[in-house]
Amino acid sequence: MLSNLQFDEQTLSQRLMNHRREFHRYPEAAWREFFTTSRIASHLEHFGYSLHFSDEIIKRSSIMGRNEVLVAEAQERAISWGADITYLAHMDGITGIGAELDTGKPGPVIALRFDIDAVEVMESEEDAHRPRFLGFASLATGIAHACGHDAHASIGLGVAEVLAKNKHLLKGKIKLLFQPAEEGCRAGKAIAESGWLDDVDYFFAAHIGMNVPSGTLVCDPQHFLCSSKFDLHFMGKPAHAGIEPNAGQNALAAACTAVNQMLAIPRHRDGMTRINVGQMHAGDGRNVIPASAVLLGETRGENRALNSYMFQQVENIAQAAAMMHGVNVKLCAQGEAIGLENDPELVELLECVGPESGFTEVVREKDFGASEDAGYLFDRVQSRGGKAIYCLVGSDLTAGHHNGDFDIDESRMLPAVKLLLNAVNALQQSPLIEEPSNKSQ
Amino acid sequence: MLSNLQFDEQTLSQRLMNHRREFHRYPEAAWREFFTTSRIASHLEHFGYSLHFSDEIIKRSSIMGRNEVLVAEAQERAISWGADITYLAHMDGITGIGAELDTGKPGPVIALRFDIDAVEVMESEEDAHRPRFLGFASLATGIAHACGHDAHASIGLGVAEVLAKNKHLLKGKIKLLFQPAEEGCRAGKAIAESGWLDDVDYFFAAHIGMNVPSGTLVCDPQHFLCSSKFDLHFMGKPAHAGIEPNAGQNALAAACTAVNQMLAIPRHRDGMTRINVGQMHAGDGRNVIPASAVLLGETRGENRALNSYMFQQVENIAQAAAMMHGVNVKLCAQGEAIGLENDPELVELLECVGPESGFTEVVREKDFGASEDAGYLFDRVQSRGGKAIYCLVGSDLTAGHHNGDFDIDESRMLPAVKLLLNAVNALQQSPLIEEPSNKSQ
Amino acid sequence: MLSNLQFDEQTLSQRLMNHRREFHRYPEAAWREFFTTSRIASHLEHFGYSLHFSDEIIKRSSIMGRNEVLVAEAQERAISWGADITYLAHMDGITGIGAELDTGKPGPVIALRFDIDAVEVMESEEDAHRPRFLGFASLATGIAHACGHDAHASIGLGVAEVLAKNKHLLKGKIKLLFQPAEEGCRAGKAIAESGWLDDVDYFFAAHIGMNVPSGTLVCDPQHFLCSSKFDLHFMGKPAHAGIEPNAGQNALAAACTAVNQMLAIPRHRDGMTRINVGQMHAGDGRNVIPASAVLLGETRGENRALNSYMFQQVENIAQAAAMMHGVNVKLCAQGEAIGLENDPELVELLECVGPESGFTEVVREKDFGASEDAGYLFDRVQSRGGKAIYCLVGSDLTAGHHNGDFDIDESRMLPAVKLLLNAVNALQQSPLIEEPSNKSQ
Amino acid sequence: MLSNLQFDEQTLSQRLMNHRREFHRYPEAAWREFFTTSRIASHLEHFGYSLHFSDEIIKRSSIMGRNEVLVAEAQERAISWGADITYLAHMDGITGIGAELDTGKPGPVIALRFDIDAVEVMESEEDAHRPRFLGFASLATGIAHACGHDAHASIGLGVAEVLAKNKHLLKGKIKLLFQPAEEGCRAGKAIAESGWLDDVDYFFAAHIGMNVPSGTLVCDPQHFLCSSKFDLHFMGKPAHAGIEPNAGQNALAAACTAVNQMLAIPRHRDGMTRINVGQMHAGDGRNVIPASAVLLGETRGENRALNSYMFQQVENIAQAAAMMHGVNVKLCAQGEAIGLENDPELVELLECVGPESGFTEVVREKDFGASEDAGYLFDRVQSRGGKAIYCLVGSDLTAGHHNGDFDIDESRMLPAVKLLLNAVNALQQSPLIEEPSNKSQ
């Protein structure tokens, strides 16, 4: 089937590597991908896609885990790195980009999603670390592409280029989502609620690495955890701890009470749950009743109901702890993952096109065991009758994800591109959904 | 002055001893003084007093620390001991008695208060313990007059008899209050709120013993502590702790949270505060989420504001702890003491009549350091323009108050009676309040 | 195969019913089965078994959850019910009995275990409750055979009788264990450690009911939970809470700290864990720093390692909570279940003989989801090369286990007896273990 | 008496102002007074004093609350401000200076102590703030002489100058202690333990302001609180909170447990106690079991025993909380105040010389109600037979101590100098201690 879409593998492979090394050198963490977005936009515009920014693809009021100060700093740096001012204006502070290729012919709407953010990790300074050895190591201290999203963005550009060049062979519409802030599951909900994916018939997402070796494709990973990330801000009243200890409202004490109780949320009959408070920062003196405290926490559950059970307990405990100490509390959602399940038809499709895309081993199931921000996107597409799939593209790694020594096998980007192209091509030839839904008209 | 009131000291002294030994033999704890009340009523009626029972002297809805089951048992026992059924009917379940002697002549309203309840203490079974040796030891296992209220009731009957016999020499009204449930500070508030003391111009109360030796009178004891006694009942929902731990509402956990936080109520700038949880009883299985828990606690404060501060924190913590664990909570007041301060005119009066009443030493101040249920009665009288006093009548003791070996020096009852008679007489001769208040008209 | 063992089904069935109703009428809770043991001993001696009591079958120092006061009371009551004094002497305070039938011929040692204790549950007083309607309801208030162990003991006597009568047809040895204190998993460890089962080649145990309907046999129930039951005794020092709050050592506070932390033991990666504190009883005054507190708790785990993880945390938390409040703590084991796994050969054996024993449906697996004291017995037998099995004998129930309305379908005792006889017979004919182990020589 | 010591008031007054404004402009916080020490040393050397630095006056191992990073930064800054390198070398990293004037004649050893550190407070930037208006506002952002120690150091230099110029009129020795790190009570113990004050017969210290108005001298302030400042470092083990929650050692949870229990340290019979945890900082991720936590706290007590009671509880709770959560804990003392009591002979001396020193009102007692680092110095001197006094020199203030708007009445420095000179002079004329102790020989 692949014969339909024309491209030169050698050239493409080289281009993927170039893209990836540039993204790797200029890593930007969640909600701060200004340079990255600007670079992607430039390529996509050149390929002929129509571009969608900011409120078109992201509902501002549903954004989670975005720090204005860090965002402003990142924008400055992006400019210093040479980001295109025009695109920055389009972004209006909100990173990420949606690209559309309308063939003008009736046919399905096929969306492909690529996440583009780096993580806050210090990249290895060992000479043996390949990005350093070859000169494309991170230029931003404390930020690195240690999760492989530099490869994802590159794969997206590869797919974008081939599809655009073969536009005359395609039907319907192609939508490419270069998603910001996947880390911490902070953007998925806001993107879903923007409605930009509402007309999608088929939705594709993939992750490189994830303990899958080079050459292997996992078509149907299992157990995407549900999770809620949150900050709790307790606000009390200071008082001199020696002179009038009764006059304060102790935010630190309220936070401690909340921690002790959150860690004691009862286990649940129906399966695995988790709770963690990863940080507390409270007070700013020694002899003053501390008037402020912030907790950074997260809940998890084997399914959405279990995570909801945990999160509702957190909300209740926070309220009660605040009441107990006469302080106020504000809960700020910082991220949310709701799990996802692949549509079996697309699983079969990938099993079918995997071998011809350069994978030597095609596996059906493997435990994912982590959270993915794609859950909200799946939910939006599937609840409107579309079909969605998330697969794992094997790559030998030099270290685990989020580790400073992390590096991928760059040669595994090409098979990923071919897999997605083959899947798109197959859907063009013989749609899974017999009667195209009226939404894609 | 005493010459005005006629009585034979020898006879009176013998009678006081007889009364005291009878009360000692039939001790009844708080709110259960049915036999005691019945015996007192019989004497008072014989002396010619008009009697007031139940709702006339006690506001039922303000009663604290009364256990219906124990009350019912006590009533049965009082009957078996020979309590007068007619008086029991008047009591209608509420012990204590108010007696009035109206001279028919204009003059002040003078009230004297005597508390009559025993304590839940096992009386010594040593032969050397005088009540046992002389055959008037407690007939009720686990209850004893180990605080001296048997003497108080006897002193009250002595005063009653002399005043009644000298009625023709008196002016105004005499009111005698034989108070139930002083222990635990459970009745004072309900008596005050009945309004029976609202017309009182002068109010007298006394305590025997209290580490004051025989022969000494303390006219103005200091530092009556404020205190609130309370029970907290947490009510949750049981669930099998193994099968569905999430389904319960853990009352024991809520109670533990409440305890931890109550013990951590901040100290107060303005002085001494106290908190204690003396008991917890929770749950009734091993593998069931415990659905009930009860705490017995108390707060104290150097003054009323400090005790209120503590008690309000308790209330808030209890509510918040219940909310935190999804259970209900009920706070039941079990007693309350609000402190008291003597009027200086009456202190001077006692200093004046003390020596002629049989006290070899008359002292002004001494630390009281405990709680007294008379506080509410003082508050009621003083806030309406009346004057009040609480004094300590010395008595060598064989052991501390509330100890099973406790016994008093019976010979010290007579000076107490003479002191009160002399005080009444002095007020009759030259009232402290020049213009009798219109309430005593 | 059954034809080998001769007995009259009609007569046996009637006898089973008589036994069961007598046991039901005289229920005795864990470690208090004096009347029950005496009655069983009498029958077994009559059948010709040699009897083993007390230290012969139970290692005293490993006993858990035995209350001397309750045991003494129970012994008194057993005598009043007519227990045989001679057997009581043999028991020497320790209930339960081991019976042996030695054929004198070489052959396997086959053991069958029947648990005999009742539970502390108030039996229904409804007329519709069959034991009440038919006149064999519990004579001991608050104790009832609400778990079916009356049926187990009866089945044991039925098996005992038939085997004894057919002794000439048997080889090797038969050992019958009438186990006390199965409830709370309190006796298994002590029996195992006595060594009485050390020579056993085949070990059988069964439970009636367990949500399996009449007519069904479950040959290989799954998921026997591991569990530890414990009491924690905190011992501090009293002090007057108002006068010298600093002088006490607060056992109640230590207990509350321990509870809060035990409920917060972190979840475990490897699977299901549970913690519960079912009861707390602390203090005995209101204004005294509470000097004693007792907690009743339990841990559970999906396997032995998980339960150990939980229990070690409990031990550590208890020690630390005591240290924190300057009190002492003693942890008393009250029961322990360690899980069990059937040997597949015996599962197959039961699947084979089930249909011919009167079961209309023979099922392999079903979730057990609770704890069983047989785990220690399995461990002892299997670790010495023996094989063991635990099966479920279906019976329609009128209410769940441990419910006051619980009653069994008495007609299901006969199939249970036949199943066990058929299994014994089959093993006699063709032993699973080709070369009889030298221990059974 | 003053006539003995010759100086020109006008000139001295001007010089005091110049000194004070220079110190005010270059404020340095505790243990960082490099520029300040260098400037004082330069003056003292010029006056003819022998100088003592570093280990001569401070026992290094007893230093509390010193942060090496901040010290190093401060030293850099002092150099940039022009501090004398030679003196810095003498200091060897430890600020403060001891100066000695030996008359060569027999006589008492008289010590005077002046504290020199600034506080970490942002000075007011209002134009109306006099130091800003007159151009001597703090040059160090976030640090200011908002407690008056700039005046103390200046008074010390004034006293030093006059005494040196009148050396021929003096007997015995004069010791001047320019103390670092009084704030937080961090240096007193280390100075005392250096032994530099061991031969002192008379010790003087004073504080300006303290809510005493200009013109008033308080000779015997009361109630110097005892206090311990401490940091608690909990060190655990990180683990992925989702993947293996059981594998971590939760330092944050341990810290929360410690906080809850420290706030619940029982009140003490003997008087006022305080506890505060002013800050907590724990963890550095969201989904990681937090492996570190630090608490900043303090205890207080009305006397040394009460503060010890509190602090020992803190130590015990910290250990137990660490044990409970399987983490380590380190307690770092950050400061300690032990209270002080004036010798009555010196109180009378000040009452005597106060009026002639320029004070219009001389008061005996006033509540101090705070902590003072002089306590350890008093203890050292008094326990060796010396006498010590701490007085308050009134000054109208523009805002409270440690407030950014704080400013003193500069004209009040002269009376302070005169008071100390007069006191020294009086002791020279007629020593309080008849026979000079052999230590001052």
C358: left (phi over 0), alpha (psi -120 to 50) or beta: left
Helix intervals (H) in A26-144: 34-47, 68-81, 85-91, 130-133
When CB atoms are compared, the residue of D287, D297, D369 closest to A278 is: D287
Q: Are B322 and B329 in contact (CB under 8 A)?
A: yes
- Dmax (CA) for chain A in angstroms is 83
Q: What is the rounded distance in angstroms from the CA atom of residue B172 to the CA atom of residue B202?
A: 12
pLDDT for position A441: 38
Tokens read off for B253: 């956990």
- Nearest Cα to D186, choosing from D251, D94, D293? D94
Determine which of A158-167, A268-277, B6-15, C364-373 has the lowest per-residue pLDDT on average.
C364-373
Q: What is the rounded distance in angstroms from the CA atom of residue D184 to the CA atom of residue D188?
A: 10
Q: How confident is the model at residue C284 (pLDDT cuts 50, 70, 90)?
A: confident
Q: Are B269 and A246 in contact (CB under 8 A)?
A: yes
Q: Which residues of chain C neighbour D317 with C-beta distances below 8 Å? A: 324
pLDDT for position C434: 53
Q: What is the rounded distance in angstroms from the CA atom of residue C417 to the CA atom of residue C217?
A: 13
Q: Are D373 and D229 in contact (CB under 8 A)?
A: no
Tokens read off for B92: 């209608």
Q: How far is A252 from chain D (nearest CA, A)?
A: 7
Q: Is D168 touching A (CB cutoff 8 A)?
A: no
Q: Are D311 and D228 in contact (CB under 8 A)?
A: yes
Tens digits of per-residue pLDDT, D73-98?
999 999 999 999 999 999 999 999 99
When CB atoms are compared, the residue of C246, C250, C324 closest to D268 is: C246
Tens digits of per-residue pLDDT, B232-242?
999 999 888 88
pLDDT for position B222: 92
Q: Which residues of chain A neighbour B247 with C-beta distances below 8 Å? A: 269
β-strand pairing of D216-222 with D387-393: antiparallel
Q: Which residues contact B438 (CB under 8 A, 6 or more apart)?
A: none
pLDDT for position B433: 56
Q: Averaged over C70-99, what is the pLDDT?
A: 97
Q: Can you give chain D as a three-state secondary structure string?
A: CHHHCCCCHHHHHHHHHHHHHHHHHCCCCCCCCHHHHHHHHHHHHHHCCEEECHHHCCCHHHCCCCCHHHHHHHHHHHHHHCCCHHHHHHHCCCCCEEEEEECCCCCCEEEEEEECCCECCCCCCCCCCHHHHCCCCCCCCCCECCCCHHHHHHHHHHHHHHHHHCHHHCCCEEEEEEECCCCCCCCHHHHHHHCCCCCCCEEEEEEECCCCCCCEEEEEEECCCEEEEEEEEEECECCECCCCHHHCECHHHHHHHHHHHHCCCCCECCECEEEEEEEEEECCCCCECCCEEEEEEEEEECCHHHHHHHHHHHHHHHHHHHHHHCCEEEEEEEEEEECCCCCHHHHHHHHHHCHHHCCCEEEEEEECCCCCCCHHHHHHHHCCCCEEEEEEECCCCCCCCCCCCCCCCHHHHHHHHHHHHHHHHHHHHCCCCCCCCHHHC
Q: How far is B21 from chain C (nearest CA, A)?
A: 28
Q: How far is A184 from chain D (nearest CA, A)?
A: 9
Q: Which residues of chain A neighbour B267 with C-beta distances below 8 Å? A: 245-246
Q: Is B264 touching D (CB cutoff 8 A)?
A: yes
Q: Which residues contact C365 (CB under 8 A, 6 or more apart)?
A: C218, C220, C221, C222
Q: Are C95 and C71 in contact (CB under 8 A)?
A: no
What residue type is D283 in one-letter code?
A: G
Total residue length of chain B? 441
Tokens read off for B235: 């009510």
Q: Averaged over D229-255, what is the pLDDT?
A: 93
State the angle between helix axes of C251-262 and B251-262 in degrees (0 to 180), rounded to the nearest 10.
120
When CB atoms are compared, the residue of A253, A255, A286 closest to D297 is: A286
Q: How far is D66 from chain C (nearest CA, A)?
A: 30
Q: Which residues 336-355 on chain B approach chain A with CB closer than 8 angstroms?
A: none
ipTM for this model? 0.81
When CB atoms are compared, the residue of A245, A268, A317 closest to B324 is: A317
Q: Which residues of chain B neighbour C370 with C-beta distances below 8 Å? A: 242
- Residue-wise over A109-134: b if at least 16 C-beta within 10 A, else e? bbbbbbbbbbbbbebbeeeebbbbee
Q: Environment class of residue C192 by beta-carbon count within 10 Å: exposed (0-12), middle (13-18) or buried (19+)?
A: buried
Query: Helix (H) and strand (E) counts for chain A?
Result: 12, 12
pLDDT for position C240: 85
The overall average pLDDT reported for chain D is: 94
Q: Which residues of chain D neighbour C257 with C-beta distances below 8 Å? A: 257, 261
When CB atoms are compared, the residue of D184, D227, D283 closest to A278 is: D283
Q: Is B287 touching A (CB cutoff 8 A)?
A: no
Q: Which residues of chain C neighbour B369 with C-beta distances below 8 Å? A: 243
CA geometry: angle at A101 spanning A96 and A104, to 5°?
150
Q: Are B232 and B318 in contact (CB under 8 A)?
A: yes
B-C CB pairs within 8 A amount to 137
Which strands make up the sheet holding A173-179, listed edge to edge?
A50-52, A97-102, A173-179, A109-115, A202-208, A387-393, A216-222, A361-367
Query: Inter-chain contact B267–D260, Cβ cutoff 8 Å?
Result: no
pLDDT for position C441: 38
Q: Environment class of residue A200 by beta-carbon count within 10 Å: exposed (0-12), middle (13-18) or buried (19+)?
A: buried
Q: How confident is the model at residue B118 (pLDDT cuts 50, 70, 90)?
A: very high
Q: How confident is the model at residue C433 (pLDDT cuts 50, 70, 90)?
A: low
Q: Is C329 touching D (CB cutoff 8 A)?
A: no
Answer whether residue D440 shows pLDDT above 80.
no
> Which chains pack against B, by 3+ Cβ pairs within 8 A?
A, C, D
Phi, psi of D432 (to 5 degrees): -70, -35
Q: Is C309 touching D (CB cutoff 8 A)?
A: yes
pLDDT for position D434: 53
Query: Inter-chain contact D272–B267, Cβ cutoff 8 Å?
Result: yes
- Nearest Cα to B245, choosing from C267, D437, D426, A113? C267
Q: How confident is the model at residue B2 (pLDDT cuts 50, 70, 90)?
A: very low
Answer whether residue B367 shows pLDDT above 90.
no
Tens digits of per-residue pLDDT, A162-197?
999 999 999 999 999 999 999 999 999 999 999 999
Mutation choice for C interface testing from A225, A257, A262, A263 by most C CBs within 10 A? A263
Q: Are C181 and C335 in contact (CB under 8 A)?
A: no
Q: What is the rounded distance in angstroms from the CA atom of residue B254 to the CA atom of residue A174?
A: 56
Query: Inter-chain contact A324–B320, Cβ cutoff 8 Å?
Result: yes
Q: What is the rounded distance in angstroms from the CA atom of residue C18 to the CA atom of residue B312?
A: 64
Beta-bridge partners for A176: A99, A112
Query: Inter-chain contact B264–D266, Cβ cutoff 8 Å?
Result: no
Q: Is B244 touching A (CB cutoff 8 A)?
A: yes
Q: How far is B295 from chain C (nearest CA, A)?
A: 9
Q: How far is A59 from chain C (nearest CA, A)?
A: 36
Q: What is the rounded distance in angstroms from the CA atom of residue D417 to the CA atom of residue D157?
A: 9
pLDDT for position A78: 97
Mutation choice for C interface testing from B250, B259, B273, B325 by most C CBs within 10 A? B259
Q: Which secondary-structure segment (H or E) carries B150?
A: helix B149-165
What residue type is D160 in one-letter code?
A: A
Q: What is the rounded distance in angstroms from the CA atom of residue B183 to the CA atom of residue A346?
A: 80
Output the CA torsion D21→D27→D32→D37 (10° steps): 0
Which strands make up the sheet holding C173-179, listed edge to edge?
C50-52, C97-102, C173-179, C109-115, C202-208, C387-393, C216-218, C361-363
- Percent of chain B whose pLDDT exceeds 70: 97
Query: Inter-chain contact D246–C309, Cβ cutoff 8 Å?
Result: yes
Q: What is the rounded distance in angstroms from the CA atom of residue D410 to the CA atom of residue A9?
A: 84
Q: How confident is the model at residue D171 (pLDDT cuts 50, 70, 90)?
A: very high
Q: Is C250 touching D (CB cutoff 8 A)?
A: yes
Q: How far from chain centre, in Å, is Cα D256?
A: 32
Q: Averaged over C190-218, what is the pLDDT?
A: 97
Q: Are D54 and D92 in contact (CB under 8 A)?
A: yes
Q: Are D293 and D281 in contact (CB under 8 A)?
A: yes
- pLDDT per residue rounded down to tens, chain A (441 residues): 445 788 999 999 999 999 999 999 999 999 999 999 999 999 999 999 999 999 999 999 999 999 999 999 999 999 999 999 999 999 999 999 999 999 999 999 999 999 999 998 889 999 999 999 999 999 999 999 999 999 999 999 999 999 999 999 999 999 999 999 999 999 999 999 999 999 999 999 999 999 999 999 999 999 898 999 999 999 999 888 888 899 999 999 999 999 999 999 999 999 999 999 999 999 988 988 999 999 999 999 999 999 999 999 999 999 999 999 999 999 999 999 999 999 999 999 999 999 999 999 999 999 887 889 999 999 999 999 999 999 999 999 999 888 889 999 999 999 999 999 999 999 988 766 554 444 443
Which one has a higher pLDDT value, C132 or B223? C132
Tens digits of per-residue pLDDT, D173-191?
999 999 999 999 999 999 9
Q: Is C324 touching A (CB cutoff 8 A)?
A: no
Q: Environment class of residue D210 by beta-carbon count within 10 Å: exposed (0-12), middle (13-18) or buried (19+)?
A: buried
Q: Which residues of chain A neighbour C263 with C-beta distances below 8 Å? A: 264, 266
Query: Inter-chain contact D243–C269, Cβ cutoff 8 Å?
Result: yes
- Percent of chain B whose pLDDT exceeds 90: 88
Tokens read off for B133: 């040796």
Tokens read off for B225: 């502590």
Q: Are A141 and A34 in contact (CB under 8 A)?
A: no
Q: Which residues of chain C neighbour B243 with C-beta distances below 8 Å? A: 369
A-C CB pairs within 8 A amount to 17
pLDDT for position C312: 97
Which domains are seen in chain A, by residue range? 2-223+340-440 (3.40.630.10), 226-337 (3.30.70.360)
Q: Averaged over B98-114, what is the pLDDT?
A: 97
Q: Which residues 206-235 on chain A approach chain D with CB closer than 8 angstroms?
A: 225, 227, 229
The overall average pLDDT reported for chain C is: 94
Query: Inter-chain contact D320–C317, Cβ cutoff 8 Å?
Result: no
Does pTM top 0.90 for this prediction?
no
CA atoms within 13 A on the CB side of A37: 36
When CB atoms are compared, the residue of A260, A261, A273 closest to C267 is: A273
Answer whether residue C411 shows pLDDT above 90.
yes
β-strand pairing of C361-363 with C216-218: parallel
Task: Give the CA distances from residue A55 to residues A98, A196, A374, in Å, rounded to whole numbers and listed in that order.
Answer: 11, 10, 19
Task: Give the CA distances from residue D434 to residues D108, D111, D427, D430, D437, in Å, rounded to whole numbers and listed in that order.
Answer: 11, 18, 11, 8, 9
Q: Which secondary-structure segment (H or E) carries C295?
A: strand C292-301
Write down the residue that tokens 């004891």 correspond to. B221
What residue in D sits closest to C250 (Cα-Cα)? Answer: D266
Q: Are A239 and A288 in contact (CB under 8 A)?
A: yes
Q: What is the rounded distance in angstroms from the CA atom of residue D329 to the CA atom of residue D352?
A: 53
Q: Are B413 and B232 in contact (CB under 8 A)?
A: no
pLDDT for position A437: 47
Q: Averaged over D237-250, what is the pLDDT?
A: 89
